[in-house]
Structure 1
């Protein structure tokens, strides 16, 4: 065992001497967490709109004030004629136009109905739908204010309560996904080039003639990255909590243990890639292209798995990131314990053992 610890210590020294490796291992995740945490969001704020107020009465002015009172809309321009709406959209500066017809207040109180037209740029359908829904909700609240306490004889009232994320903060959705993506890519990418580097530099012969068996050589390569990746996980968790206000309602010890398990899974996957490649560039491309796109598309990070075709849903089950994201959300948002997340934990444990055993079996003791 002394030889194993000496070999692992040598790997630590090699990592600490390479400033580029340290920059990738610690600098890149921090930058990515900050960029992704602030940039990736399904919330829309300060959307520029145009307003065509043909009524110009007290009630239309109050409606415009309601629309711009929050952080969702801001008026880019006030239009004078309907013909200028198309030109405003073509300039690309507005996302939606609000058209208030003449006699808006009089029609509402005398005819008991009034219309407001919402024109949205559907070049981005999701953004257009979100903006229209925001505007409808604000107009609906304004209508209730105008009606006062009066209500219909028969009314169905709905009470809505958003569990685990009352403020509907999108960062609560993206922080677990970004954390999973970064840990997977960094851990797998950094370990995938270790054995490939030895092969490419011609130092693999020295390792093969050493008294260490293949499985200890593989473990010696993994141990330093286990420690460093765990530190990486702590940094990402701390940034998620302190910068983005991500709650941790469950056990912190269980959360850290699950992070260690996922780091082991990622490192095992990276070692497996490195054992079947001969060059660092090939190993890096395999880890980036083979893990990045499937993780983003099939893990439920951005797109819900339930809405995918059945074959893709089945394929998503072999993605370690999918199960780790579920674990993170359950522990951090729902306060779940091991009793609730043990199926996902068992799956990750099985994947980890499979990747490590396959890596050892794929490890070549002879150079071709």
Structure 2
């Protein structure tokens, strides 16, 4: 019995000495529960909206103040023309526009009814529905408060219009997200495992002391995966168009170039993972746990980023998938050109350069 107790103590000592084991045992569950607890929500908070007020009277101003005072919405912009609605949606600045009709207050008093149009960006149908329901709830609450003081009740009639996805097809949301997940995981995971395998077998040291520069060694290792990932991207787009009837409103050439850029970004991230991984198992674990959860939870694929706590919103900015989803939705669903997605494109380029530069530096250190 004493020998068994001694053996158990030895195993505890081994576990507590191994920082990676401790991280897996305690760090991963804590990280996962925090991510799932804060990121997974069907509620919306601080959603950016715009106001188009044709009436500009006391009643519309009171309604706007009530909407602004709620925790659900943040008034991003006041627009003056209906022609401004499409550009503001294409730029991705807002998720909804509230359009108050002309002479809103007079119609409410004389005809006992006035219309307000709720225009939502339905590229994310779940969020669009939630926004519409929340605005309706605020309007109904205001209507009840006003009708308490008058004999003939007023009726505010909300008219909902969904743009880019009027039928609220969920496939419009899932195809861009699934494409992003597949390209990220396949590119990053396969690259990291491939390079780590060379390290495990000892052949990477031979490559590093060869006449080839470290950058050429890295490019040579990842080039086949660039080609295979492009084939994957083409298959996904073809299936989404012909099987799921996903529209491509924008340029297919631009979509292809942005997809190649994201593939290279994912491959560069895979290279970086390989520099910090000693075994294929470690590389696979980092790729799956370190990439899959953030891509699903923090990219805006399923859950709106604006509804998350501020720390998670900040962290989401370093997730390449977030920017690619914005790009792909803009091209496929909104039909935008490079002038609307240049910022997201530059961010992906900067991330790619950073990942590659850091990876080359680490390999140079190994070589020295």
The two structures have a TM-score, normalised by structure 1, of: 0.57
1:235 equivalent in structure 2: 235
User: Do the aligned partners of residues 364 and 282 (structure 1) sit closer, same or farther apart at CA in structure 2, a change above 3 Å counting?
Assistant: farther
- Deviation track 1:183-218 (CA, whole Å, cap 9, x = no partner) reads 000000000012211111121232123210111101
User: Do the aligned partners of residues 212 and 365 (structure 1) sit closer, same or farther apart at CA in structure 2, a change above 3 Å counting?
Assistant: farther
Matches within 5 A, 1:107-126: none
Q: Are the aligned partners of 2:184 and 2:321 in contact in 1 as well (CA < 8 Å)?
A: yes
2:322 equivalent in structure 1: 322
SS in 2 for 1:160: strand
- Deviation track 1:302-339 (CA, whole Å, cap 9, x = no partner) reads 11000001111011011000000000111100000000
**How far is 1:157 from its partner?**
3.3
**How far is 1:155 from its partner?**
4.6
SS in 1 for 2:160: coil
2:261 equivalent in structure 1: 261
2:359 equivalent in structure 1: 359
Matches within 5 A, 1:64-75: none
1:204 equivalent in structure 2: 204
2:250 equivalent in structure 1: 250
1:297 and 2:293 are equivalent in the alignment: no
Unaligned stretches of 5+ residues in structure 1: 1-41, 43-125, 134-151
**How far is 1:156 from its partner?**
3.8
Structure-1 separation of matches of 2:315 and 2:201: 37
Q: Are the aligned partners of 1:185 and 1:292 in contact in 2 as well (CA < 8 Å)?
A: yes
Structure-2 separation of matches of 1:366 and 1:316: 31
**How far is 1:289 from its partner?**
0.7
Structure-2 separation of matches of 1:351 and 1:208: 25
Structure-2 separation of matches of 1:364 and 1:199: 14
Structure-2 separation of matches of 1:204 and 1:157: 69
**How far is 1:276 from its partner?**
1.6
- Deviation track 1:42-78 (CA, whole Å, cap 9, x = no partner) reads 9xxxxxxxxxxxxxxxxxxxxxxxxxxxxxxxxxxxx
Q: Are the aligned partners of 1:208 and 1:365 in contact in 2 as well (CA < 8 Å)?
A: no
- Deviation track 1:200-248 (CA, whole Å, cap 9, x = no partner) reads 1121232123210111101111111111111111111111111111110
Matches within 5 A, 1:1-368: 155-364=155-364, 366=366
Q: Are the aligned partners of 2:277 and 2:283 in contact in 1 as well (CA < 8 Å)?
A: yes
Unaligned stretches of 5+ residues in structure 2: 1-41, 43-125, 134-151
Structure-1 separation of matches of 2:292 and 2:153: 56
Structure-2 separation of matches of 1:225 and 1:288: 18
SS in 1 for 2:247: coil
Q: Are the aligned partners of 1:215 and 1:360 in contact in 2 as well (CA < 8 Å)?
A: yes
SS in 2 for 1:278: coil
**How far is 1:364 from its partner?**
4.8
Higher strand share: 2
Tell me how large the CA RMSD over aligned residues is: 2.3
**How far is 1:294 from its partner?**
1.0
Superposed structure 1 runs of 4+ greater than 4 Å apart: 152-155, 364-368
Task: State the number of aligned residues.
Answer: 222
The two structures have a TM-score, normalised by structure 2, of: 0.57
Structure-2 separation of matches of 1:323 and 1:209: 37
**How far is 1:275 from its partner?**
1.4
Structure-2 separation of matches of 1:202 and 1:282: 17
